[in-house]
Amino acid sequence: MNSYDLRNRTAVITGAASGMGAATAELLAASGARVVLLSRRRDRLGELAAQITSAGGAALALPVDITDPEQVTAAAARVPDADLVINSAGVMLPNPITDGRSDEWARMIDTNLTGALHVIRAFLPGVRAAAAAGRPADLVNISSIAAHVTFPAYAVYSATKAALTQLSTSLRTELGAEMVRVTNIEPGLTDTELGGHIDNTEIAGQLDGMFQLLPALRAEDIADLIGYVVSRPRHVNLRQLVALPTPQA
């Protein structure tokens, strides 16, 4: 695992209980950052925080549902000095649009887009204060290649990720002049728990077939990209990264 110099930084990571969020928390902590772990999964957060602490890092576990703005605001009040925010929480529930699964639509929109907005609003004051003080300040959003590559049955998921990508682009116009960096990362096929919630056996089988055909990225690969991005000199903003398994077109 690579390591970067992130001493004296405080990183808030959503979706930290598993996948890219957990891998990112471990890498940033190993690089010297204090990590604040946000997720609904209390038990897993506690385990990860203990693991990071036993390895010599600093971690704070905050069980939070990012779709609840009051919970997010309360978490931000406990960590007013965060200078690095990573929106890693996400849910992928593909089904044909004609199935009319409005419950899944709401869950994806609430988590992938609205939840990210709650986190940005709550933690942005600390990020802006860090930038004003001349320190590195970062907002990193984890989108997906589904933001611009279409897949049957993934219309609503793709729409939420396209919105997150566009949000990142627009936020640069608001925050760049303040020296707040905004980075949007779009992973391709990545081996995480994301596909484990699919209840359509045909679609789940198609995804499994992709994993058999392609050497998928690992959550640690995306964590490594994040570590690299946020450790650059503060005048360097890697604004958009697309990361794919080498054979994925």
For the chain, the average pLDDT equals 94
pLDDT > 70 fraction of the chain, expressed in percent and rounded: 98
Q: Which of 28-32, 48-52, 191-195 has the lowest average pLDDT?
A: 191-195
Phi, psi dihedrals of residue 135, rounded to the nearest 5°: -105, 160
Question: Under the phi-then-psi rule, with left for phi > 0, alpha for psi from -120 to 50, and beta for the rest, what region is 59?
Answer: beta
Question: Residue 159: which residues within 8 A CB-CB, separation 6 or more?
Answer: none
| Cα–Cα dist 203/208, whole Å | 9
3-state SS assignment for residue 96: coil
CA 167 from chain center: how many Å? 14
- List, in order of start, the domains of the chain with CATH numbers: 10-243 (3.40.50.720)
With vertex at residue 202, the alpha carbon angle to CA 199 and CA 205, rounded to the nearest 5 degrees, is 95
What are the residue numbers of the active site?
A: 157
- What's the whole-model pTM score? 0.94
Angle at 140 between CA 139 and CA 144, to 5 degrees: 150
